[in-house]
């Protein structure tokens, strides 16, 4: 299996995957143009990371993470905007690579993941130092000072 950053040649396959996830998992009507914009922005910006996992040239996983500056605090935060994998092993490898990327970006203070439906992603992230706040999963670089 290969895990790598997505490139322009991956856009159409990722759009198809994104549309399927929105349509099936969220039971919403996907917007191809919005999904295309998110994917192409993530590929072209160093503030975002879009990884894919391939096995025998088949897409078996993808994760998209964006970082932004806080509007109310110092430094930055990250958001996992999409995470899909065909097996927990693939998902575990993707999140490990993402967390290496996050740890190398010292300005990123926390990473969030929210999904309005329960998925296996929740369990996988909890195994990788995320914690549940009740409404989302969150990873913090530092604990909360009291």
Whether 13 is in a domain gets the answer: yes
Instruction: Report helix, strand or coil for 53.
Output: strand
In a domain, 112, yes or no: yes
Residue 146 belongs to some domain of the structure: no
Return the CATH number at 88: 3.40.630.30
Q: Give the integer Cα–Cα distance in Å for 131 and 104.
A: 20
pLDDT digits (tens, 9 = 90+) for 79-133: 999 899 999 999 999 999 999 999 999 999 999 988 766 678 888 888 988 888 8
- Domain assignment of residue 11, given as a range: 2-140
**What is the pLDDT averaged over residues 25-46?**
93
Structurally, the chain folds into a number of domains equal to 1
For Cα atoms 104, 140, 78, give the angle at the middle one, nearest 5 degrees: 60
Q: How far is CA 72 from CA 32, 69, 77, 102, in A?
A: 32, 9, 11, 20
Q: What is the pTM of this model?
A: 0.84
């Amino acid at each position: 299996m290969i895990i790598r950053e997505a490139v322009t040649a991956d856009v159409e396959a990722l759009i198809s995957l994104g549309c399927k996830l929105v349509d099936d998992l969220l039971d919403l009507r996907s917007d191809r143009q919005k999904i295309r914009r998110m994917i192409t922005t993530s590929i072209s910006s160093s503030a975002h990371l879009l990884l894919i996992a391939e096995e025998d040239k088949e897409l078996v996983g993808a994760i998209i993470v964006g970082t932004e500056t806080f509007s109310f605090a110092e430094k930055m935060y990250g958001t996992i905007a999409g995470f899909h994998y065909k097996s927990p092993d693939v998902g575990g490898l993707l999140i490990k690579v993402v967390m290496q990327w996050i740890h190398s970006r010292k300005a990123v203070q926390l990473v969030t993941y929210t999904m309005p439906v329960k998925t296996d992603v929740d369990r996988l992230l909890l195994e990788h130092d995320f914690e549940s706040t009740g409404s989302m999963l969150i990873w913090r670089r530092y604990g909360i000072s009291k």
